[in-house]
Amino acid sequence: MKRSAIMVAALAMAGSCAAGLSCAVAQEPSWVEVKCDRYKKAWDDALARRGTKGLGQEFLDRHEAFLVSGCVAKAEVCPRSEEELTLANMMVVAAMNAGTASTFPPFACRK
C-alpha cells in the first residue's frame, strides 16, 4: 500500500471516530482493576473453601458493595465474629500474595 493510501485510510478512520462512530481501542486494565480482579478471585476461592457459616449478612453485603464498586469504595467492612475476623485475616494475606498492599482490603471498624 502506498504511503498516500495509508494516510487517506488513517484520516478516514479519524474522521469516523470524530463523527461518533465506534472506534474501540484495546486498553490494558488499570492497576486498580488488576488488583480488584485478583482480590475477587481470592474472595471467591476463600468462600468456596470455607463457606459462609458464621459470616453475618451485613459483613457479606458490605463486602459485596466493595467488590461491586471495583474495589474503590471506602473501607466499611467490620469483622465482628471470630469467623469474620479469620476470613478478613485470610483476605489480607491473599491480597498481599496477589501483589497488593495490606491496606487494599476493605476491612475496618470505625466505631
- The pLDDT value recorded for residue 88 is 97
Q: Say if CB 94 and CB 42 are below 8 A apart.
A: yes
pTM for the model: 0.74
User: Can you read off the three cell numbers belonging to residue 102?
Assistant: 495490606
Neighbours of 77 (CB within 10 A): 22
Query: Which has the higher per-residue pLDDT, 3 or 46?
Result: 46
- The pLDDT value recorded for residue 75 is 84
Residue 5's pLDDT band (cuts 50, 70, 90): low
User: What SS3 state is found at 38?
Assistant: helix
Within the chain, what is the greatest distance between any pair of CA atoms?
70
Q: Per-residue pLDDT tens for 49-106?
A: 999 999 999 999 999 999 999 999 998 999 999 999 999 999 999 999 988 888 899 9
